[in-house]
Amino acid sequence: MALTTGTPAPDFTLPDGNGQPVTLSTFRGQKNVVLFFYPKDDSPGCTLEACSFRDRYTEFQTAGAEVLGISSDSEVSHQQFARRHNFPFVLLSDRNGEVQKLYDAKALWILPGRITYVIDKEGIIRYAFDSMLDFAGHVAQSLRILQTLSQ
């Protein structure tokens, strides 16, 4: 079950692929944020999903949004994954799964969940898309919601 739309997005700080801290609240007042949780770097489904975000990244930028991906993989794994696939967005390492729990990215079997949140410039959750198998849906639905926010 996703967090409720219309509520504030829980703040967090996680390291990126270079070990640099990224804090969600630094985007407040500046950009919408698309926050996607995925199970594992380089797995087939996660690669498809992340590459879909990459391929439409300019549309996210045009919509005034930043894309952030989160999994429990290490910073080094994220760095390699991003380099291998030329990701223009940041991947964050949630090694102990605390942020995944905070955002209800629940496990399916042994894998962490796959859920995407659209958070507006004020830090309010405007949409959550929760699907383990509809990889492209995470991207398409997020863009659809961002378009309504800019109207």
Which listed residue (9, 22, 33, 46) is catalytic?
46
The set of residues, in sequence order, having a beta carbon less than 8 Å from that of 124 and lying 6+ positions away, is: 6, 7, 8, 9
Q: What are phi and psi of 16, to 5 degrees?
A: -85, -170
Using an 8 Å Cβ cutoff, are 137 and 129 in contact?
Answer: yes
Q: In angstroms, how far is CA 148 from the centroid of its own chain?
A: 19
E strands in the chain: 13-15, 21-23, 32-37, 65-71, 90-93, 115-119, 125-130
142: tokens are 């997020």
Is 46 annotated as catalytic?
A: yes
Residues assigned a catalytic role:
46
